[in-house]
A and B are shown apart, each in its own frame.
Chain A
Amino acid sequence: MAGTQYRGSEIKDVDQFLKDSKGLDSDREQEIGQHIGYRYDVNLVPDYERLTPFLKKYMEHMGWDDLNWLEDIHMGYEDGNAAVFDRNINGWVRVPETIKLPDNQQDRDMVAREFLLKFQMSDRHPLVNLRKVYTKF
């Protein structure tokens, strides 16, 4: 199969995967019943004009001039819900439905960064218990 053409669908709208949770658009996706590729643009670099106050404080605390690892964090979409992928638990963490999402991906990404950061640093993150069980040093 190597060398075949890309047969996934294109991302056309910021709400595309909220309206259509399966996201099966191209012929190939419909044939296999699986969405091909990411549901957001992983290569979208942040617009620093849209930083939230909390993210600015975090950058200052860490001694960084930019978002550093958070540049790779984006608002994603899982089963028709807004969600953020947490690499530390290898899973999606959902944004509550009560939260009103901004109308563009850049601002959504900033919200995603802030939510993920607070979650990863909190005592309710699964890594806290995993660390208690398995830490070696």
Chain B
Amino acid sequence: MASLKSEELKKMTQEERANALGMTSEQLTGRSMFIEFDPDAEERMTYPWAPEVDFNKRSEIDVNDMNTTEVNNKIRELMDEGYGTIVIKNPRGMHSLGVGILSRLNLIIEGSIGYFGVGLIDGPNVRINGRVGWSCGENMMSGTVIINKNAGSTFGAAIRGGDLVCRGSVGSRTGIDMKGGTIIVGGDTGALSGFMMQRGRMIVCGNAGKNLGDSMYDGTIFVGGEIESLGVDAVLGDFSENDKGWLERKLKQYDLFPQKGVASFKKIVAGKQLWNYDNLEPTEKKLIL
């Protein structure tokens, strides 16, 4: 496998590549994968395919006359050339801007962006000096995103890792289906925030709307203000010293630490009353049907 060169692989069809790299020769049924860590693994900090970028190498793009695809391709080109700091000017509320960046980068967006901004990212540090539309940071894997004004609904939908920060207020269904990472809201959040949350942490410095944490499976929500109502199976949890230290550290990091401290914050967790997965379920359902 190691002897195959990139040039040879490029000439092959996808099926030929898959066979050559051993992807389809195994019989998967009844087999489990067994992989063990190598304690002597080399100390690397970026993916093997990630471009080498230098944070001190900076470029600016005025995107006034460009469409989204052109802007996103331009960002990739600049990263391949080693630019580690890229400033986007005049985004004009463009949708899907800065999506799919899979390596470290400082991305600064001077202005507001539209729907699905900086989604599917894995590593970059993004600062948006404006507002964002629906689903900002959707499916984010790692990195930091800081929005200086307000954000729309479904902020951080299905986020899996990283820090997604909005200094202002956000719409409804914040962190819907989140599976990891941290969402921080400096202001208020709307109804059904944390809906079907599975993992991760959400911090709301202001107030939370109706049905907070509805049907949450796991994860933690911290709220500094008032909660209009809790959703199904969302309950108040115990605030440990470890939680308190972590919360203080996180809020200080983003200059959102409240003057009166974090003592008044409430911690919301899953009541685990909806945990019904088990082997007998399908049989029981059949009996009912």
Contacts and interface: CB of A to CB of B under 8 A. Distances in A.
A120 B47 contact: yes
Contacts of A91: 33, 35
Nearest to B288: A1
Which of A5, A32, A46, A71 gathers the greatest number of chain B CB atoms within 10 Å? A71
Contacts of A123: 48
A122 B41 contact: yes
A4 to B, nearest CB: 6
A72 B55 contact: no
Given A42-B199, A87-B160, A37 B44 contact: no
A47 to B, nearest CB: 6
A34 B34 contact: no
B246 A72 contact: no
A8 B276 contact: no
Contacts of B206: none
A59 B34 CA distance: 29
A94 B219 contact: no
A64 B160 contact: no
B82 interface: no
Interface residues of A, number: 65
Interface stretch (B137-145, B148-156, B167-175): B137-145
Contact of A130 (B23, B38, B219, B242): B23
Interface in B159-204: 160-163, 180-182, 199-201
A18 interface: no
A36 B18 CA distance: 37
Contact of A66 (B250, B269, B278): B250
B22 A129 contact: yes
Contacts of A6: 271-273, 275
Given A64-B144, A66-B253, A96 B36 contact: yes
Interface stretch (B60-68, B88-96, B279-287): B279-287
Contacts of B135: none
A28 B276 CA distance: 11
Contact of A32 (B14, B39, B273, B280): B280
B106 A63 contact: yes
Given A33-B279, A133-B21, A121 B47 contact: yes
Contacts of A31: 280
Interface of A: 1-8, 28, 31-34, 36-38, 42-48, 54, 57-58, 61-66, 68-69, 71-72, 84, 87, 89, 91, 93-96, 98-99, 115-124, 126, 128-134, 137
5 contacts: A6-B271, A32-B279, A36-B278, A43-B218, A98-B39
